[in-house]
Amino acid sequence: MVAAVNASRVERLVHISSLAVSGPGTTAAPALETAPPAPVSAYGRSKRAAEEEVIAHCRTAFTILRPAAVYGPRDGEFLRLFKAARAHVLPVFGGGRQELSLVFVTDLAAIILASLAHPGAPGRVFHVAARESCTARQLTTEIAHQLGGRTLPLPLPNAVWWPLCALAQIAARLTGRPTVLAHGKVRELTAPGWVADTGQLRATLALTCPTGLPAGLAATRAWYEQEGWL
C-alpha cells in the first residue's frame, strides 16, 4: 500500500487502523491516541505494525484513524446479536459490564472523507467513535428493544471464553476457515472496556460522530430486514 502511494501522485493517505492499537479503556480512563500503543491481541499488534510501516515509509501526507467497533448496514458481526435477539435470547457477556465505544459506519465514512482535505489532519492519529459509550448489556438490551420482543438473558461469564476460543481455533485448523475467536482474542473480550477518548478529533478537526446508538441500531436493523438478512 505504502509503495503504491509513493509511486503514484496520491496527495493524501488516510490509513484505517483500529482502537485495538491503543488498547483497553473505560469511561473513567479512556484510551488516548497520544499514549504509547498497548495492543493486547495479535490483531491489535498487526494493526500497530501497519501503522509503523506508514509512519516510517510513507512520503506523502498521511493521517491514521483508529475507529472503535464499527457497526451498520452490511456488518455481519452485529447481525449475530440481532439474530440472537430475534430468537428471544439476550447474550450477556462478562456480566454485561464491559464498556464500549462504537461508531456508526456512515459517521466513519464522513470522518475519512473530511480527513482527506482537512489541513490539520496530516501527521496525526485520531480515535473515531461516538462521544457516548455504552455497556455490553446496554448494547444487547437496545438491540432487543429494536426488535420489540421478549428475550431470555443468557449469561456468558468471562471464564467461558478460554474454552470457546480454544475450540474455535481447533475447528479453524481442521476446516481451514478463519475465526475471530483465536486465543489472542480472549484478552480483548475480557478487558474491562474499549472506550476511546475522541477529544483530539473534536479539538483538532472539529469533527464528531453524531449518530447515537438507538438511531444507528434502528438503521442497521432496517437494512438487515430490507435485504433479507434478518
Element (H, E) at 113: helix 105-117
Q: In 65-104, which ranges are continuous DSSP H helix?
A: 77-86
> Using CA atoms, how far apart are residues 64 and 54, in angstroms rounded to an integer?
9
> Using CA atoms, how far apart are residues 207 and 219, in angstroms rounded to an integer?
22
Q: Which amino acid is at 179?
A: T
Q: Are 5 and 56 within 8 A, CB to CB?
A: no
Residues 6+ apart with CB under 8 A from 200: 33, 34, 124, 125, 126, 127
Mapping DSSP to helix (H, G, I), strand (E, B) and coil, where does residue 153 land?
Answer: strand
Q: Are 70 and 194 within 8 A, CB to CB?
A: no
Instruction: Please report where in the chains the cell 487502523 appears, as a residue.
Output: 17
Cell of 21: 492499537
Q: 56: burial class by Cβ within 10 Å (0-12, 13-18, 19+)?
A: exposed
Task: Identify the DSSP state of 25.
Answer: B
Element (H, E) at 62: strand 61-67
State the catalytic residues. Answer: 43
Q: Which amino acid is at 188?
A: E
